Chains A and B, each alone.
Chain A
Amino acid sequence: MPAFTPPPLPSDDKRWKIVNGTMRKNGFARYALIETLHTVQSSFGYLDDDAIRFVANSLRVPLSQAYGVVTFYHYFSLKPPGKHTVTICAGTACYIKGADKLVAAAEKRLGIVPGQTSKDTEISLMTARCVGACSRAPVVLFDGEVAGEVAAEHVLEQLERWAVE
């Protein structure tokens, strides 16, 4: 059997080298699929078709399997995120403390539902399955920064600040 040559990098973008690095570190083993997809998402912000194809070919995983993995796990996103992301925790403690009101306020203000990005591609609205800061519920992540004991007004204020940027 001839030695396997991984496919060439999709472009000159340096980020592909990081992706390739993850695969090389794992000896291009199939089990590195999820690990590699994490690297793609942290480098590019999301997973597009080219990326999935590249990773699948490099690891010799059927494309259907790679796509299956991407769509199975909530953490992976097939769409580019907005410039800013507001993530409202929807864990139990946050729910008990009224996280649904925060979601409703953000939905109304942005005109989108969780999982979408506003039309001007500025702001993505997400919900999270518990970020582990339950003692400060309800919790919201503004661009990854954890804020606790958040009221609907706080969310709206932050959205306003982003809007005028």
Chain B
Amino acid sequence: MTIEELEQIAESVRQENAKFDYEVNVCMDLACASQGSDKLRDALVKAAEASGKKVMVRRTGCMGPCSAGPLVRVDPEETLYSHVNAGHAEAIVSSLGGEPVAALQCDLNEHFDKQVRVVLENAGQIDPEKIDDYICRDGYKALMTALLEMTPNGVIHRITESGLRGRGGGGYPTGLKWSTVAKANGDLKYVVCNGDEGDPGAFMDRSVMEGDPHRVIEGMAIAAYAVGASKGFIYVRAEYPVAVARLTTALREARRRGLLGSNIGGTTFSFDVEIRLGAGAFVCGEETALIASIEGRRGTPKPRPPYPAVSGLWGKPTLLNNVETYANVAPIVRNGGKWFANMGSERSKGTKVFALTGKIANTGLIEVPLGIKLWEIIEVIGGGVPGGHTLKAIQTGGPSGGCIPADMMGLGVSYDALMAAGSIMGSGGMIVMDDTSCMVNVARFFIEFCMTESCGKCIPCRAGTAQMYTLLTRICEGTGTMEDLELLEDLCSTVKEASLCGLGQTAPNPVLSTLKYFRNEYIEHIEHKRCPAGVCNIHIPAEVLA
């Protein structure tokens, strides 16, 4: 495979597409599929055949605004239809070439205008099971450019220059990580992709793996070339069967096209990727635990150092990045590090994909330049809090993150600003809470999660989260005391300081951030036996009432 050959493939796809006058794209991502988008596609194909028009019906990955699903986009006009079902197929097909179907049209311009799509540039544009669709949109060009025109160091330099930081949430500079692995001694090195999206309330990585799997594979291949690895693993949650199937297809197609395997592009570089299934353990998002799991063992973390960059999978130097990090690699190599660094804020470059969910009008997948203000995400992109309710807080970072109160919506989204506010960027879950959410209960929810997911290896996390859960339950049930609150704060610092891995070290964050911003809610529960949001079931003993 050469760059010219890639261009030939792209050209033939373009010629094939040019045979059609219209392209009807149907979102087949989980949210739309759960509302019958497969039947819708079949109906569209049937209607298109019956009409005699030259229509291509294409299944695509997530288009973004899931709450408007099932979504259909008609190209070249880019007309977006929302809440489409199979019954609308004929109307849509017969409208082609004339006026759009007004009843189905949706105006989401505001939703899209503030977004910048790098990772999601192909989302909703390509058929995820067709490698040629990906190639047609400059796919694998970056890999070929890297292999044929750049040195491994040149690739690392470009990634460093871009300022890309780990998108799994930690925010470690990607270029630095790559150069550490590149410098590590050893003839055998591994590249691992963390697709164990454990944050409950986030689905960015699932959407990328399902909607644009080649992007991840290309990113991994470029990384492998840069650090000198010959073997890669993608570790995917078993709960994502579609992602596994799409990646399997993508790997097969990439091998068929000679983009994986031996002597890629006629160079000396050989690389292949295997899929490994997770088995439902949140802690496996931690790098040393993930490595243990790939090796077929219990996913318990190890103390670092040694870091995986030096001694990882089977003791070999291992590069471990998140799905979204790899998904950023190809565009950076293609467009240059400066291009990427021009987006975002001073220390947080580029864009970030968020799964915007909870009490918000436009739920779905969004990609925004870093530095964007929280209120822009909530009010403009998200369309505000529905049902006449008021915004109370935004939760980012999942069980490792925190709640940012409504009066801090002027905050720019960056690794450092979110950390300073007591939360973290996290992998990209962004859950909006309104006045019907009780913040003590939310804290308890996350601590319960961490308690269940604690691997049990170190005591602060294993016992600490359990004790915190007991205290929070007491407060939620109205039997807590002010001493309990003190004890809770004390435990927070112990668990934070003394736990072995990130799970335990960050587990207190949801409690600490709610204590910081919503302390009055804790006090209300304790002193007045009242849940301000009306969520907690507080039974006031008869003698108190008397």
Asked if residues B201 and A91 are in contact (CB atoms below 8 Å), the reply is yes
Contact with B along A115-135 (1 / 0, CB 8 A): 000000000000011111111
Q: Contacts A132-B203, A135-B67 given: A34-B34 contact, CB under 8 Å? A: no
Q: Contacts A134-B355, A135-B364, A146-B34 given: A129-B66 contact, CB under 8 Å? A: no
**Min CB gap B546→A, angstroms:** 30
Chain B neighbourhood of A38, CB < 8 A: 238, 277, 279
Q: Contacts A31-B294, A133-B34, A146-B30 given: A128-B239 contact, CB under 8 Å? A: yes
Asked if residues A72 and B198 are in contact (CB atoms below 8 Å), the reply is no
User: Once the chains are docked, how many angstroms separate the CA of A133 from the CA of B33?
Assistant: 10
Asked if residues A132 and B282 are in contact (CB atoms below 8 Å), the reply is no
User: Once the chains are docked, how many angstroms separate the CA of A163 from the CA of B438?
Assistant: 36
User: Once the chains are docked, how many angstroms separate the CA of A131 from the CA of B242?
Assistant: 11
**Min CB gap A22→B, angstroms:** 11
User: Once the chains are docked, how many angstroms separate the CA of A145 from the CA of B36?
Assistant: 11
Q: Pick the residue among A129, A135, A146 that contacts B355 (CB under 8 A).
A: A135
Max count, chain B CB within 10 A of own CB: residue among A133, A134, A137: A134
Interface residues of B (CB under 8 A from A): 30-31, 33-35, 66-67, 69, 197-203, 206-207, 238-240, 276-282, 293-299, 355-359, 363-365, 395, 398, 429, 431, 433, 437, 442, 445-446, 449, 453, 455
Asked if residues B30 and A132 are in contact (CB atoms below 8 Å), the reply is yes
Q: Contacts A92-B445, A130-B199, A148-B35 given: A73-B295 contact, CB under 8 Å? A: no
For A74, give the chain B residue with the smallest CB separation: B280
Q: Contacts A92-B445, A93-B358, A132-B206 given: A35-B276 contact, CB under 8 Å? A: yes
User: Once the chains are docked, how many angstroms separate the CA of A60 from the CA of B409?
Assistant: 56
Asked if residues A34 and B293 are in contact (CB atoms below 8 Å), the reply is yes
Interface residues of A (CB under 8 A from B): 30-35, 37-38, 61, 65, 68-69, 72-76, 90-93, 95-97, 128-137, 139, 145-148
**Min CB gap B452→A, angstroms:** 8
Top-9 shortest CB links A-B: A92-B201, A135-B66, A91-B200, A73-B279, A75-B280, A74-B280, A132-B203, A130-B200, A135-B363
Enumerate 7 A-B pairs (CB-CB under 8 Å) in ascending A order.
A73-B279, A74-B280, A91-B201, A92-B398, A92-B446, A134-B355, A136-B31
Asked if residues B297 and A92 are in contact (CB atoms below 8 Å), the reply is no
User: Once the chains are docked, how many angstroms separate the CA of A35 from the CA of B429?
Assistant: 29
